[in-house]
A = this chain, B = another copy of it.
Amino acid sequence: MSQLAPLLARTASWLNSPGSHGGIVISSRVRLARNIEGFAFQRKLSPVRQQELVDHLMVKVSATAPMPNALALKIDQLNPLERLALVERQLISRDLAGGKRPAGVYISSDEMYSLMFNEEDHLRLQVISAGLCINANLELAVQLDRTLEKALPWSNHPEFGYLTACPTNVGTGLRASVMLHLPALVETGEFKQVMRSLSKLHMTVRGLHGEGSEPTGHFYQISNQRALGLSEQQLVDHLNETVERIIAYEQLARQSMMTKSRTRLEDKIFRAWGLLTHARSLTSDELIDQLSWIRLGAGLGILTWRNWKMLDRILLQSQPAHIQLQNAHAEDVEARDQLRADLVRKWLQAPSSEQN
């Protein structure tokens, strides 16, 4: 049995649909990149020194900012599936999961806090929660950062600010991102225009699983591209403003579909429902794409079914590693796709007494 078993069976706290703004905002995430004095940047460290760094950080973090029932994990002690499951839960990066180097992660029991050791930077501190709450998350991240700083002297430059392995992070070391669900903007074709504007605003757009992931299910992570020259608060304000504007566009696009192409909209939504409640085999991508329409249908009141908790559960639990780690008979892709379809049918058709 995997040491992640208790974690995997739960829904992540950052996934608490409808989130905010009628299901448009899934979650907000703030990440601080830090490096400590006395160790070179990761790329220049020998494997032995990297191991020392990870052990050092694990000890210092547990002692300085202990979190009840936290999970302290060494990445090399996890099998590839367990690592992928942590990526699926947004707790570690693909880079950390795939790396051969010593690495670790410290995760609070509610999964709101996650501290990666020996990622691109020595330490990457993440605060993630449901809804649009970048400010609150920044506050929590800064608090934790200040606590840790007492035991861990951050590499700092009087003019540039925090030093980081990649120059784009120098300064505040802050990256803030918001995960949005934008089916109407994509369907109406307006999202291309939004993407162009975001690029001009120095914003980055990514898929469900961050860097290197293709957008699926109309889920997009919007984040600030640069960290230098602006204060934490300025960066966050800038992101907040941008996100609020995108939300407004998505709301307009939804209203427009409701009035101008209602049948096409309903067709998409009810087909998705018909497909997910009947298919005998489902890939992860097809499921997420179809689930997107059901989420929209629930948000717009087109579906009477509106079990948000179940939508979250499916989104999380039906991902490849989650399926495979929690089911003995899911070794090959075919068995997994079949099992996924069986689970989704069962979950979507659960009696309303099991609904929230």
Q: CB within 8 Å of B: which residues of A? A: 263-264, 266-267, 270-271, 273-281, 334, 338, 341
A279 neighbours in B (Cβ, 8 Å): 267, 270-271, 274
How far does the alpha carbon of A334 sit from the alpha carbon of B341 in the complex, in Å? 32
A341 neighbours in B (Cβ, 8 Å): 267
Closest beta carbon of chain B to A83's beta carbon, Å: 29
How far does the alpha carbon of A154 sit from the alpha carbon of B279 in the complex, in Å? 58
A334 neighbours in B (Cβ, 8 Å): 263
A280 neighbours in B (Cβ, 8 Å): 263, 266-267, 270-271
Closest beta carbon of chain B to A346's beta carbon, Å: 14
A275 neighbours in B (Cβ, 8 Å): 271, 274-275, 278
16 contacts between A and B (CB under 8 A): A263-B280, A266-B280, A267-B279, A267-B280, A267-B341, A270-B278, A270-B279, A270-B280, A271-B280, A273-B274, A274-B274, A274-B275, A274-B276, A274-B279, A275-B275, A275-B278
How far does the alpha carbon of A276 sit from the alpha carbon of B334 in the complex, in Å? 25
A264 neighbours in B (Cβ, 8 Å): 281
Nearest residue (CB) in B for A261 is B334
Nearest residue (CB) in B for A280 is B267
Across the interface, A273 reaches (CB within 8 A) one of B263, B276, B278, namely B278
Nearest residue (CB) in B for A335 is B263
Across the interface, A267 reaches (CB within 8 A) one of B263, B270, B276, B281, namely B281
Closest beta carbon of chain B to A267's beta carbon, Å: 4
Nearest residue (CB) in B for A273 is B278
Most buried by B among A264, A273, A276, A279: A279
* Nearest 4 pairs of A and B residues by beta carbon: A274-B278, A274-B274, A267-B280, A270-B278
Most buried by B among A264, A266, A278: A278
Nearest residue (CB) in B for A264 is B281
How far does the alpha carbon of A338 sit from the alpha carbon of B281 in the complex, in Å? 28
How far does the alpha carbon of A280 sit from the alpha carbon of B268 in the complex, in Å? 8
Further 19 A-B residue pairs, CB within 8 A, beyond A275-B275, A275-B278:
A263-B334, A266-B280, A267-B279, A267-B280, A267-B281, A267-B341, A270-B278, A270-B280, A271-B275, A271-B278, A271-B279, A271-B280, A273-B278, A274-B274, A274-B275, A274-B276, A274-B277, A274-B278, A274-B279
How far does the alpha carbon of A267 sit from the alpha carbon of B270 in the complex, in Å? 18
Closest beta carbon of chain B to A236's beta carbon, Å: 42
Closest beta carbon of chain B to A343's beta carbon, Å: 14
How far does the alpha carbon of A334 sit from the alpha carbon of B262 in the complex, in Å? 12
A338 neighbours in B (Cβ, 8 Å): 263
How far does the alpha carbon of A267 sit from the alpha carbon of B278 in the complex, in Å? 8
